[in-house]
Amino acid sequence: RAFYRCSKLASITIPENVTTIGENAFEGCSSLTDIVISYGLPAINELAFSNCTALTSISIPSSVTSIGENAFSGCYALASIDIPNSVISIGDFALSGCSSLTTMTIPGSVASFGTNIFADCTSLTSLELSEGVTSIPENAFQECGSLISIIVPESVTSIGSGAFRDCRSLISITIPSSITSIEASTFAGCWSMTSINIPNSVTTIGDYAFSGCSRFSNFPISDSVTSIGERAFLGCTSLTSFSMPSSVTSIGQFPFEMCDSLVYIIFEGEALPTKNNLVTDSQAVYGISDNNNILSFGGDGVLWNNICMVNSDSVVAALDLVDTEKVIDYKIGVIEMTDYSDGLAQINITLEETADLNDGFNITENKFSLMVDASEASEQSLFYRIKMD
């Protein structure tokens, strides 16, 4: 703590014979604007320049191999810092809160770096991770609200939970084919993203992974994905449909909670992967079916055309996805095909009540007609509609 909180210190030159800058050495030197570090220094230790709030730039010599935890954290005027190829490790929170940084390059010599390294760097607009970086740790870029683009090299094999959480300006990102898992909350709150390409290597989408990504209208995933976590797409309010490949064998609770525009979910397999609720009780989507017979999903019990045509074997399974104690009206129906024209079929539907799931709240209109795509219509199918409490 040689110069700890020396608030009047404005400049300093560290000569070649200095081999160590100790922990907290210049922490809180709030007037320090000019630092010259001579070649020969091997490391910048923990909290060495933390909260040097007047520091605008620094050049790190190529003799430095490590930058410690919180080394420059809270240096909110720091707009420029060059990290040489000699650096092989950067500690947790090393540059967190450097809210004037706009661009940054991490050299390939840094195979991995600490958690929260750029957290709250609110002016950072672009970032390049050089080939050789192997992992992005948890919360690495959390709250980098101005980050628009980031280059992630193929050498990266893991991205930690919350890595890009609340990067509200991030429009797109390419995930390398070396990634096998999208961890919890990795892209939560990235509300400017309209699309993302999930490579075939990914098998797991974690809890809350894309929650709050409110501009996704669709979200294609490959048949390599086997697991979708709890509330993975919470609040994706523009998502209108979702196709779930048959490879998915595990789904967490409420993956589509608050997906207010979601019309239908298509499960491409022959068996449902879970009995967890896919949506919450206030939403309009309560069913799931195979993609051969799906027409549309509803469930609010108000409009008769909010109804789903499913294979008869799917009706009971679909009910397993909701809390049957909250079902106050459940109707199934048989159909009769009538007219075909312009690729559409008119079907007449007669709904029948199921007394064991009805508490006396009945909609009396049991017969109606719909126009559907002729390729989807079948007299061997059933219709059902669920109303929840």
Structural domain includes residue 146: no
Q: How many domains, the chain?
A: 1
Closest CA to 299 of 263, 257, 248: 263
- Side chain identity, residue 280: T
Res 287: pLDDT: 41
Q: Give ∠ CA 248-254-258 in degrees, rounded to 5.
A: 125
Structural domain includes residue 93: yes
Whole-angstrom distance, CA of residue 194 vs CA of residue 231? 19
| Per-residue tens of pLDDT for the chain, all 389 residues | 668 889 889 999 999 999 888 899 999 999 999 999 999 999 999 999 999 999 999 999 999 999 999 999 999 999 999 999 999 999 999 999 999 999 999 999 998 899 999 999 999 999 889 999 999 999 999 999 999 988 889 999 999 999 999 999 999 888 999 999 999 999 999 999 988 888 999 999 999 999 999 999 888 888 999 999 999 999 999 988 788 888 988 888 888 888 878 766 776 665 556 555 665 544 444 344 433 333 333 333 323 333 444 444 444 444 444 445 555 555 556 656 666 667 666 666 666 655 444 433 344 455 656 566 666 555 555 555 555 45
Closest CA to 56 of 99, 27, 113, 6: 99
Structural domain includes residue 19: yes
Res 314: pLDDT: 46
Q: Domain residues for 41?
A: 1-101
Sign of CA dihedral 189, 163, 200, 271: negative
Res 201: pLDDT: 96
Structural domain includes residue 271: no
Res 250: pLDDT: 87
Token pair of 362, please?
Answer: 């009945």
- 383, burial (CB in 10 Å: exposed 0-12, middle 13-18, buried 19+): buried
The pTM score is: 0.74
Res 278: pLDDT: 64
Structural domain includes residue 57: yes
Q: Residue-wise over 21-43: b if at least 16 C-beta within 10 A, else e?
A: bebbbbbbbeebeebebeeebeb
Closest CA to 384 of 324, 335, 336: 335
Res 331: pLDDT: 58
Structural domain includes residue 170: no
Structural domain includes residue 82: yes
CATH number at residue 48: 3.80.10.10
Structural domain includes residue 291: no
